[in-house]
Structure 1
Amino acid sequence: MNHRTVTALLAVAIAAAGLTACGSDKDSGTPSTKTASAAEPTAPVGSGTPSKSSGDAGAPKGKGIPPKPDAATQTKYIAALTAIDADIVNTKPDKAVDRGRNECETIANFPQDKQKQIDLANQRFTSPKHPNGFGPEKATRIRDAVHKHLCPTY
């Protein structure tokens, strides 16, 4: 496996672990710690404490993975991705939405680093025909579609 594939798989595993934890801390009263473990691969898993790495110094507080979009928003988002390349959605709109919501967290965590947002979008959005991403040009357009439709306030 190449480095990008390993990185992407690791990011997905960390995100999945964080999403699994989202439903289990209802009574803890600390919603901000739920997204920290998914967004912060440098934080110890399960620590509930966001890392203090230099990359998240400018991250807006309280923003992370946004809620699932309503049906109309999802339809517009999926149409925007399909217009870029039909293989991005690849008959799996729910997966495309989940990837987009995770990209929103990247946008929130690295608001001044658009190149990092694009690089992570290219790693995050893959398909059987594009296992290493869709390239920087399409990744930029994917990132822009995510921002416009799923997290315009980020």
Structure 2
Amino acid sequence: MRTRTATATAAAVLSALVFTGCSSTDDGAGDNAAAKSTPRASQSGPTDEQIAQAREAAGLPPTPQAADWNAYIKALDALDPDIVHGKEDKAVSRGIDACSTYKRYPDDAAQQVKATRARFTSPTHPEGRDAATATKILDTAHKYICPDF
């Protein structure tokens, strides 16, 4: 439940940043040349720094770089190919969520494993994973996605 709350908080912060960045007081009578010279990316949403701050406030690590992403997926596949089951984005997202649980409960391994068991479902494991597998998944996420947590 707290993961959902943290995710919802991060989404709300990001949405607020997007809508704040999109608001305008220009009545349309301004200089079109100035508008054209402004980079579009700066008008389309929050900056990378704002996103990083929102993720940090929500207890979420940044999205892993390509090398860590690939190593994480490879490690999960080595545990059991059904963990990823062809959905890398989903596996990484769940790993990021596992990191938030790790950060939220740094001294409560039982809570970390419980949340990871329930989080990593698949078509052949709709109820989640056993404790031993969840522990290995959590260790893998910690190693490749949030080593600083």
Correspondences of 1:92-107 after superposition (within 5 Å): 92-107=87-102
Shift in CA distance, 138/151, structure 1 to aligned 2, threshold 3 Å: same
Identity of aligned residues (%): 40
CA–CA distance in structure 2, aligned partners of residues 16 and 153 of structure 1: 20
CA–CA distance in structure 1, aligned partners of residues 57 and 77 of structure 2: 30
TM-score (norm: length of structure 2): 0.69
Counterpart amino acid of residue 144 in structure 1: D
* Unaligned runs of at least 5 residues, structure 2: 21-49
TM-score (norm: length of structure 1): 0.67
Shift in CA distance, 21/121, structure 1 to aligned 2, threshold 3 Å: same
For 1:21, the equivalent position in structure 2 comes to 12
2:147 maps to which of 133, 139, 152 = 152
CA–CA distance in structure 2, aligned partners of residues 78 and 134 of structure 1: 17
Counterpart amino acid of residue 88 in structure 2: P
1:114 maps to which of 109, 112, 123 = 109
CA–CA distance in structure 1, aligned partners of residues 104 and 7 of structure 2: 18
CA contact (8 A) 1:21 1:34 kept: no
CA contact (8 A) 1:63 1:108 kept: no
Shift in CA distance, 12/91, structure 1 to aligned 2, threshold 3 Å: farther
Shift, 1:64, TM fit: 0.9
Counterpart amino acid of residue 15 in structure 2: S
| Count of aligned residue pairs for this structure pair | 119
CA–CA distance in structure 2, aligned partners of residues 144 and 93 of structure 1: 17
Shift in CA distance, 22/100, structure 1 to aligned 2, threshold 3 Å: farther
Shift, 1:13, TM fit: 5.5
Larger radius of gyration: 2
Shift, 1:18, TM fit: 3.7
CA–CA distance in structure 2, aligned partners of residues 109 and 93 of structure 1: 24
- Structure having the higher helix fraction is 2
